[in-house]
Amino acid sequence: MKKRKVPLRKCVVTNEMKPKKELVRIVRTPEGEVVIDFTGKKSGRGAYVSNSQECFLEAKKRDVFSKHLNVKVSSEIYDQLIKDRTEGDF
């Protein structure tokens, strides 16, 4: 039986390569809005961040999504990430 290749992505905060399933994807859609992509399949430019409270807080502090997605990301996206993480939505 052939082993399947595990897709790796780089966290924009820590610059670590991790399996795609361990990261959360933030997407700038073709319409220009920024959303959290829980499926990992929405169309648009994506940025990945490790699924940890520390990474979310560091991302908000450094505003890394605005830099990687080339669009101003509101603080609501960062706050939603932090809130969903504490509630256990992902």
Residue pLDDT, tens place only, 61-70: 999 999 999 9
The confidence score (pLDDT) of residue 34 equals 94
Residue 27 structure tokens: 């997407």
Its pTM surpasses 0.85: yes
The confidence score (pLDDT) of residue 84 equals 81
Residue 20 in contact with residue 7, Cβ under 8 Å?
A: yes
Q: How confident is residue 90, by pLDDT bands cut at 50, 70 and 90?
A: low
Domains in the chain, please, with CATH?
Answer: 8-87 (3.30.1230.10)
Residue pLDDT, tens place only, 9-45: 999 999 999 999 999 999 999 999 999 998 889 999 9
Residue 51 in contact with residue 59, Cβ under 8 Å?
A: no
Angle at 34 (CA atoms; ends 16, 78), nearest 5 degrees:
60
**Angle between helix 53-62 and helix 75-87 axes, rounded to 10 deg:** 170
